[in-house]
Amino acid sequence: MKLASYWTDTAAQFEGLDPRGLDARADVAIIGGGFTGLSAALALARKGATVVVLEAGRVAGEASGRNGGHCNNGLPHDFSVVARQLGLEQARALYHAYDSAVDCVERLVRDEGIECDFRRNGKIKLAAKPHHFAKLEKAYALLQRHVDPDTSLVGPEVIASEVGSELFYGGLVMHKSAQMHMGRFGAGLAAAAQRSGARIFQNTAVIGLARLSGNAFRVQTAHDTVEADQVLVATGPSRHGPFGYFRRRIVPVGSFVVTTEPLSETLVASIMPGGRNATTTKNVGHYFRLTPDNRLVFGGRARFALSSPASDAKSGAVLERNMKVLFPQLRDTRIDYCWGGVVDMTADRLPRAGEVKGLHYAMGYSGSGTQMSVYMGQNMARAINGEPEANPLRRLQWPPIPGHLGPPWFLPFVGAYYRWLDLVS
C-alpha cells in the first residue's frame, strides 16, 4: 500500500520555472497553485496580464490533488437549510453556481484538450438509514419545484440497481455531476496556463506580504520578492505564511481516501452497477466512485485529525474496515493507495471569495472544491479585471469563527458531536 495520492502518483509531473528566476514585477501575483490559482492564471494571461503563480509545493498537490475525484453539482448541504439562511433567491443563485461550475470544468477540459477521463456520470446521495430516505424525498420535491428539475429519486425497492450494498435505503440522483482524474486535470490546467503566458513557480512558499503605496503589493518568497499591482490569495487552509485573516475564518479538517487494486468486471457490477459518484447521508459519512481501470476510490472523515503519514495510515485502516462493511464482496480486496488531505471548511460550509484590504481571495470550498475552485478562479479573474459582479459569492458575509485563531483545537469535540448526531438522527 502506497501512502500517496492515487491522482498525483499516476499523473505526469508538471515542470514549472526555477524559483531563483522569480520575476521582479507582475500585473497579478497568485498565491497558491491549486485549481483556483491555475484557473485564474489561465483566464488572466488570456486577457494579456503578466501573471506569476507562487506555489509552496507541487501544483495541484494539496487539496486539488488529494480529494475523492468527484466533480458534483448541487449544494453541499440541504437546499432548504440554505434557503432559510439566505433566502430563496440567493440559495437558488448559489445552487446554479455549482451547476455552472461543473460546466466550466467540462469546457476547460474540452477547449484545452486535457486528457483527464472527464465523464458526466451523475451523483447519488444514499440514505444511510430508513428514515433518511424520507428527508431525501422532501429534498427532491423542493429541488424539483424551485431549482433543479434534472434530479431523480431512487426508491428502496430498486436501490440495488445503483449500489450493491444492503446498508442503503434509497437515494437522490443529481444527473449533472461528473468525475475526472484530478492529477491529470491539474497538470493539464497548469500547462494550459503556462502556454497562455502565465509564469508558474513551484516550491516557492510565500513568507511575507506587504502593501505598498497605492494598491500594489510586495510578495516575499523564500527565494526573492515580486511586486504586483494585484494579488489573489488562493491558498485554501494554509497553516503557514502571512494569512492570519483567513486562518481565523477557515477550519482545516482532515479527509482521507483509500483506493483498491483494479477490480474484476464481476465485482464492479456487484458493488456499483449504477457507476455514479456516491455520497452518504451521515454526518460522518463516506464518498466513493470507480475509476476507468475499475478501482474503487473510497473516502471519508474516518478520524477527526489532520493529515500526516501516520495519521493517513490509521485513517486508511478505518476506511478499509468501513468499506468492507458496506461491501462484503470486497473482503479479499487489496488496498493500493491511502492518503489524506486538508479540507478548508467554513462555519456554514459555503465558499467565500471577494476582496479585503486590497487582496482578492477565493477559498473555503468545504469539501466541494473541485468544480467551484475552477469556476471561482475564472470568476475572480474577471473581478480583478474590473467586473466585481462576476463573483457569485460577493454578498456572503464572512465573520471570524469565535475562539478560532489558527490550530483547530476543537476538532475532537466536533467529531464526537457529529458521531453522536449520527447515532440519534
Contact 374, 362 (CB under 8 A): no
Task: Summarize the chain as % helix, strand, coil (round to 5).
Answer: 35, 25, 40
What's the average model confidence in pLDDT over 220-240? 92
Sign of CA dihedral 143, 144, 147, 149: positive
Beta bridge partners of 312: none
Question: What cell numbers appear for 23 in the block?
Answer: 520575476
Q: Which long-range contacts (CB under 8 A, 24 or more apart) does 346-349 make?
A: 346/249, 346/250, 346/251, 346/398, 347/249, 347/251, 347/401, 348/85, 349/76, 349/77
Question: Rounded to an integer, what distance in angstroms lies between the CA atom of residue 171 and that of residue 126?
Answer: 4
Nearest Cα neighbor of 379 from 179, 193, 232 is: 232
Of 167-171, 259-263, 362-366, 421-425, minimum mean pLDDT range: 421-425
What pLDDT shows up at residue 116? Answer: 98
Of 47-56, 128-137, 271-280, 339-348, minimum mean pLDDT range: 339-348
What pLDDT shows up at residue 213? Answer: 80
- pLDDT tens digits for 17-27? 999 999 999 99
- pLDDT tens digits for 77-113? 888 889 998 999 999 999 999 999 999 999 999 999 9
Domain-wise residue ranges, the chain:
6-414
Q: Strand 286-290 and strand 51-54: pairing?
A: unpaired
Question: What cell numbers appear for 111 in the block?
Answer: 477547449
More confident residue, 120 or 415: 120
What pLDDT shows up at residue 413? Answer: 64
Check whether 238 has a pLDDT greater than 90. no
What pLDDT shows up at residue 236? Answer: 82
Mean residue pLDDT of the chain comes to 93
- HSE, side-chain direction, 13 A CA sphere, residue 236: 30
Question: In degrees rounded to 5, what are phi and psi of residue 227?
Answer: -100, 135
- pLDDT tens digits for 371-403? 999 999 999 999 999 999 999 999 999 999 998
What pLDDT shows up at residue 45? Answer: 98
What pLDDT shows up at residue 418? Answer: 61
CATH of the domain spanning 6-414: 3.50.50.60
**How many angstroms separate the first and last alpha carbons of the chain?**
35
Contact 270, 164 (CB under 8 A): yes
Question: What cell numbers appear for 55 in the block?
Answer: 506555489
Check whether 237 has a pLDDT greater than 90. no
Task: DSSP letter for 258, please.
Answer: E
Question: Rounded to an integer, what distance in angstroms lies between the CA atom of residue 30 and that of residue 232?
Answer: 5
- pLDDT tens digits for 163-201? 999 999 999 999 999 999 999 999 999 999 999 999 999
Question: Rounded to an integer, what distance in angstroms lies between the CA atom of residue 145 and that of residue 36?
Answer: 32
pTM: 0.95
Check whether 410 has a pLDDT greater than 90. no
More confident residue, 343 or 157: 157
What's the average model confidence in pLDDT over 125-154? 95
Question: Rounded to an integer, what distance in angstroms lies between the CA atom of residue 229 and that of residue 241?
Answer: 20
Nearest Cα neighbor of 357 from 234, 268, 267, 230 is: 230
Check whether 48 has a pLDDT greater than 70. yes
